[in-house]
């Protein structure tokens, strides 16, 4: 699993039939200490996340499993909303 921040939404009126009903959100994935990677990721949202939320993201086969459709052509899915993160710093 990875952690990302929701930065936007995508509307696609024409898409693969297996994606009908999928809410798509735009994410910036996080590096250590909360820094964001520069590229954007599109993920199916099965949990009800919104812009600004920190989310747990699965990819590949785990994403298709999360949306209960092995034929859905997605490679990322939001499976949780993060309430807090605690990391012990041993530096």
User: Is 1 a domain residue?
Assistant: yes
User: Is 28 a domain residue?
Assistant: no
| Structure confidence at residue 43 as a pLDDT band (50, 70, 90) | very high
Average pLDDT, the chain: 93
User: Is 23 a domain residue?
Assistant: no
User: What total number of domains does the chain contain?
Assistant: 1
Measured between alpha carbons, how far apart are the two ends of the chain, in Å? 24
Residue 4 in tokens: 């990302």
User: Is 20 a domain residue?
Assistant: no
Query: Is pLDDT of 33 > 80?
Result: no
Q: How many CA atoms lie within 13 A of 15 on its CB side?
A: 14
User: Is 31 a domain residue?
Assistant: no
User: Is 40 a domain residue?
Assistant: no
User: Is 27 a domain residue?
Assistant: no
What is the Cα–Cα distance from 2 to 20, expressed in whole angstroms? 25
The whole domain housing 56 covers 1-7+45-74
| Structure confidence at residue 91 as a pLDDT band (50, 70, 90) | low
pLDDT digits 0-9 by tens, 44-88? 999 999 999 999 999 999 999 999 988 999 999 999 999 998 888
């Amino acid at each position: 699993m990875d952690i990302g921040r929701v930065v936007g939404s995508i509307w696609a009126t024409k898409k693969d039939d297996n994606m009908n009903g999928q809410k798509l959100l735009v994410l910036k994935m996080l590096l250590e200490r909360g820094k964001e990677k520069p590229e954007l990721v599109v993920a199916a949202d099965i949990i009800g996340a919104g812009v600004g939320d920190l989310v747990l993201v699965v990819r590949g086969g785990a994403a298709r499993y999360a949306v209960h459709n092995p034929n859905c052509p997605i490679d990322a899915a939001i499976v949780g909303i993060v309430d807090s993160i605690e990391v012990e710093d041993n530096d």
